[in-house]
Amino acid sequence: MRIVVLTGSGVSAESGVATFRDRNGVWAKYDWRRAATPEGFAADPAFVHAFYNERRRALPAVRPNAAHYALAKLEKELAARGGSLTLVTQNVDDLHERAGSKNLIHMHGELMKARCGACYSVHPWKDELSIETRCPVCDHAGAMRPHVVWFGEIPMALDAIYEAVTSADLFAAIGTSGAVYPAAGLVGEARAMNIPCTELNLEPSENAWLFTDSRYGPATKIVPRWVE
Ligand code: BJW
């Protein structure tokens, strides 16, 4: 059995990481055009660095929850039976890896990494970034940025994601509103191949009608139950 799971911010909500489009979500406090676009970064890099520095600073104190652990357990159990779980996450937090997931794709990047806009080298990063930060490889100052995917940028590892989704036996989406493409289009790719699709979310997402099965409730309750 080959399963592909797409996760969104709802899977980390009960760990205390804010979602984006809920009433108290990130985009209720910050304008996404200023905080999460290449144009916003070019116009005001200090503002964008402050936005990501604050989230990076908070992350080490956050812990994985029962949903992250259930998905790591599912990966192990499927592998032991000759199957596989490919976990595709839109989240930039590191809670899936801390829970033990190994076969993991961060399609929107990683908060704990930084990239040089001059030489494109990518680095583990736990400190603050600023407009003065120098690249550890090319020593260029002012080109370091969070290793995340902003609106208008192409998500990471798309070929591997489409390959995994279209050759899966089951596709599941957990804790995502289905508002952001191309992630939100993966269910359509799977359905086009007649692959069963399950939605696990607090409430029906924007493309709930595309799923063949659905379970609604908090991720820490419904994901462990689904995995059993
Ligand atoms: C629970 C729960 C609990 C709560 N238990 N569930 C017009 C202008 C600009 C761009 C566009 C445009 N029209 C279309 C576009 C394209 C754009 C897009 O889709 N925009 C839409 C908003 C319209 N997409 C892009 O720009 C993407 N790139 C692209 O398209 O490139 C072109 C291309 C693609 C493919 C091939 C060739 C070319 C890039 C998108 C990058 C998104 N980046 C962000 C920020 C990442 C860094 C960071 O974290 O700061 O990614 S935005 C933000 O949204 C973040 C998330 O990963 C992403 C998805 O959000 P998510 O996770 O679904 O969160 P929410 O809040 O929306 O939903 C949470 C859900 O959980 C809800 O349903 C809750 O009910 C539920 N929930 N608590 C279970 N306890």
Same domain, 10 and 22: no
Domain boundary among 89, 123, 148: 148
Note the pLDDT of residue 116: 98
pLDDT band at 208 (very low <50, low <70, confident <90, very high): very high
Pair of tokens at residue 169:
């036996």
Same domain, 103 and 131: no
DSSP secondary structure string, the chain?
-EEEEEE-GGGTGGGT---SSSTTSHHHHS-HHHHSSHHHHHH-HHHHHHHHHHHHHHGGG----HHHHHHHHHHHHHHHTT-EEEEEE---SSHHHHHT--SEEETTEEEEEEEETTT--EEE--S---TTPBPTTT--BS-EEEEEPPTTSPPTTHHHHHHHHHT-SEEEEES--S-STTGGGHHHHHHHTT--EEEEESS--TTGGG-SEEEES-HHHHHHHHH-
Same domain, 144 and 166: no
Note the pLDDT of residue 88: 98
From the list 68, 96, 106, 108, the catalytic residue is: 108
CA angle 118/120/123 to nearest 5° reads: 115
- Do 175 and 219 form a contact (C-beta atoms < 8 A)? yes
**Atom 37 (ligand 1) nearest CA:** 154
Same domain, 70 and 128: no
Note the pLDDT of residue 127: 95
pLDDT 10s digits, 107-165: 999 999 999 999 999 999 999 999 999 999 999 999 999 999 999 999 999 999 999 99
CATH of the domain at 122: 3.30.1600.10
Distance from the CA of 213 to the center of ligand 1, in angstroms?
22
Note the pLDDT of residue 22: 92
Note the pLDDT of residue 205: 96
Pocket of ligand 1 (CB under 6 A): 8-10, 13-14, 19-22, 25, 36, 90, 92, 108, 148-155, 158, 175-177, 179-182, 201-203, 205, 218-219
Same domain, 86 and 196: yes
List residues bridging with 197 in a β-sheet.
171
**Atom 2 (ligand 1) nearest CA:** 10
Cβ-based neighbours of 82, under 8 Å, separated by 6 or more:
none
Note the pLDDT of residue 9: 98
Same domain, 79 and 118: no
Domain boundary among 148, 168, 200: 148
- Do 104 and 89 form a contact (C-beta atoms < 8 A)? yes
Same domain, 215 and 165: yes
Same domain, 203 and 95: yes
Within 10 angstroms of residue 220's Cβ, the number of other Cβ atoms is 17
Q: Does 63 carry a binding-site annotation?
A: no
Average pLDDT of the segment spanning 201-220: 97
Same domain, 1 and 71: yes
Distance from the CA of 179 to the center of ligand 1, in angstroms?
6
**Atom 50 (ligand 1) nearest CA:** 36
What end-to-end distance do the CA atoms of the chain give, in Å? 15
Count of domains forming the chain: 2
Domain boundaries, position 139: 18-61+111-148
Same domain, 55 and 31: yes
pLDDT 10s digits, 29-88: 999 999 999 999 999 999 999 999 999 999 999 999 999 999 999 999 999 999 999 999
Distance from the CA of 136 to the center of ligand 1, in angstroms?
31
Q: Decide if 108 is catalytic.
A: yes
Pair of tokens at residue 146:
């969070």
Domain boundary among 100, 133, 148: 148
pLDDT 10s digits, 4-34: 999 999 999 999 999 999 999 999 999 999 9
Which amino acid, residue 178? G
CATH of the domain at 161: 3.40.50.1220
Note the pLDDT of residue 73: 98
Give the C-alpha separation, 90 to 109, whole Å.
8
